[in-house]
Every structure is written in structure tokens, then in C-alpha cells.
Amino acid sequence: MSPIPSPLQETDWDSVLQFVQEPLDLDFVPKQVSQKAQPLQIPTPPQSHDGSPVVDDGEEGTVVSISTTFYPGAQLSALQPDVILLSADGVFFYVHSSTLLAASDNGFGGHLPHPSPMSPTTKDLGPFFSLPDQSAVLNVILHTAYDKSCTHYSPQFPILVAAVNRLSSYGITPKSRIQPSTPLYNVLLSYAPLFPLELYSLAAAYDLYDLAVATSSHLLSFPLFHITDEMAERIGPVYLKKLFFLHFGRSDALKRVLLPPPQPHPPTPWCDFTEQKKLTRAWALASAYLAWDARPDLSTSTMESALRPLAEHLTCEQCQATLRDRIKNLIVQWSVVKRTI
């Protein structure tokens, strides 16, 4: 059985620092130290850090996983990284204290600034912090602090939610970093069709109005009675009222635009007012069928499929024309009804 490597000692840190000082080779592949002892690699999240550069200590067989974005040779700033962060699952992130301090109002959770900078001449690791977050979550947080997109990592929605919930712990205000056109806003909004209520509740919890507005259109088909007490508490009274008013407002608007029947045309010898009342009664029945359910997500195609067959029972061409005009006007009116909070 291969021996399990012991925790990193002082000599191990010297080896790691020596790697940091030397040029980074992204194509570097860990080498086998011997046939008797194989290196034990610290597991890393396959989606966020697959293919991370590694440091192989030939003497101890220690493998160090480093972020593929925040590594020593990354061109993220004109300055060299001066802070090292270690995630809970053992992934190193080399970052800039100036960037983190500019994004944070509490010294990045009280970790910055650090009194002594990294000193390669003395082989001192300098500012080094172990954080409680998993690498996938910390990766999103750091991308947010650097105002860079993490879309290429394809972070899952729970990871994004966890990262947003942790931003305030590091002094980063979610409302200032999740705005239209910002990277985190765009990647969160991409999940609106899949997790509309969860995303809406997240936006409501941090008063992210623009994100809540964009997400609310995906909740038109959501039955409001499915909202649990816990979800309602998280959404809060303000945004919950907005969501209810959106549903009720569209239902009322649907009834209003459906109510007026087609306008009668001047009487003719073959179609007088009495004959035209047949169209009025048929419209009333068809519109009542649509208004009975009054779903806020009712589509215009459903309207047309319910109302256009009325023309099949009309012999007067003028009545058919007025029916077509009424349906066209109805679709236009319904399409301009507000679809968001």
C-alpha cells in the first residue's frame, strides 16, 4: 500500500515557493517519484478546477492543486500576486490584495491587509490564509471581486447561490456586484428558465431589483399556492407582494381586454342587428371560457385557437371581417400587458 504523504512541513513550503519563483509551465505534468511511492493528489472539483496546475515535490510526493485562473503566472494585474488563499478542499488561489481590498469593505473578511509581503529572497510564503469555502464557491467569489466572468467554468446554480450568500462575509455587497451587464448578473440570469422561483427569492433577499424583474417573467406559469412558508419568508413581503400583483394584474387585464365583443356593422338586408347578436353571444361564450381560468401566462396562440373558429359559423362577410379585427386588436392589447413585476 502506498504511504499517505504527511502534512506539509517547512521543507515542503520551500519546494512550493521555489515553484512559484520559477516560470509557470501550464503543460507541466506531475512526474512519478518512484515505483514504490506514488503521489496522492488532493481531489479538486472537476468542473471548476479540472486541469489545475500542480506542484510535485519529488522527495515527499506532495501534489499541490492551484487554480487555473488565479495562479502565480496569470496576467490578471500589472502587479504580482501578493496573497495566497487556500480553499477548504485544498486548492491554492494566488490573488492581489489591492484588488480584494478595493472590492471589500471589511478587509476581505478581516484577512487583509497583511503586515509582511511575499519575500522570494527569504522563501517566506508571506500572506497565506485558509478559508472555509470550497474551491468552486471561492472561485466564483474571486471572479466577482475581479469583475470577471466565471461562465467558462459552468458553475452549477447551487454553487452560485452559495457564493452570493458568502459575498457579504468577505465585505462584498451583492447589490453592488450583481447589476445588469455585470458578469455575475449574466450567469445568474442564465438560470432563470430552470430555477425561476429560487433565483427570484435570491434576488429578493438582497434587493436585486433588476434581477428580480428579469426573472419574474419566468414565473407567470408558476402556481402561487406552491410557495412554501420558508420560501415566502425568504422572498419577503415587498417582493412577494410584487409577484402576487403581477399575477393578479395580468388576470384582471385579460378579463378586461376579452370583455368587449366585436363592433356591429351597419345592418344589411341579409344581416340585421338581430342576426349580429349571434356573433355577440358566441364571443361571450368563447371569452368566458378563456377568462374562467384567466392564467397570467396565457399565450396569444391559445386565444386565436379559441376565437377564430367562431368565423366558421358566420355567413356574413362583414361579420367575419369585424371578428378578425377584434381578434387582432385583442392580441395586440394582451401582448402589451406588463409581463414583469
Looking at the predicted structure, is the pLDDT value of residue 327 above 80? yes
Looking at the predicted structure, is the pLDDT value of residue 259 above 80? yes
How far is Cα 49 from Cα 150, in angstroms, rounded to an integer? 12
With cut-offs at 50, 70 and 90, classify the pLDDT of residue 329. very high
3-state secondary structure of 234: helix
The DSSP secondary-structure symbol of 90 reads S
Looking at the predicted structure, is the pLDDT value of residue 258 above 70? yes
For the ranges 97-101, 119-123, 283-287, the lowest mean pLDDT is seen at 119-123
Distances (CA, A) of 172 to 22, 69, 80, 238, 317: 33, 20, 23, 24, 67
pLDDT in tens, 275-322: 888 889 999 999 988 888 788 999 999 899 989 998 888 888 899 999
For the ranges 62-71, 223-232, 320-329, the lowest mean pLDDT is seen at 62-71
With cut-offs at 50, 70 and 90, classify the pLDDT of residue 56. low
Looking at the predicted structure, is the pLDDT value of residue 227 above 80? yes
> So what's the pLDDT on residue 246?
97
With cut-offs at 50, 70 and 90, classify the pLDDT of residue 30. very low
Looking at the predicted structure, is the pLDDT value of residue 190 above 70? yes
**Cis, bond preceding 113 (omega within 30 deg of 0):** yes
* Cα 126 to the center of its chain, rounded Å: 35
Looking at the predicted structure, is the pLDDT value of residue 150 above 60? yes
- CB within 8 A of 243, min separation 6: which ones? 200, 216, 219, 224, 235, 341
* Helix-helix angle 317-335:300-307, to 10 degrees: 160
How many C-beta atoms lie closer than 10 Å to residue 281's C-beta? 10
> So what's the pLDDT on residue 53?
52
Looking at the predicted structure, is the pLDDT value of residue 111 above 90? no
- Arithmetic mean of pLDDT, 37-48: 45
How far is Cα 292 from Cα 284, in angstroms, rounded to an integer? 12
How many residues make up the chain in this entry?
Answer: 341
pLDDT in tens, 80-94: 898 999 999 999 999
Looking at the predicted structure, is the pLDDT value of residue 117 above 90? no
With cut-offs at 50, 70 and 90, classify the pLDDT of residue 178. very high
- Exposure of 277 in the CB half-sphere (CA atoms within 13 A): 3
3-state secondary structure of 223: coil
Q: What CA dihedral angle connects 236, 237, 242 and 248, to 10 degrees?
A: 120
The H or E element containing residue 10 is helix 10-21
Cell numbers for 62 = 506532495
For the ranges 21-30, 44-53, 122-131, the lowest mean pLDDT is seen at 21-30
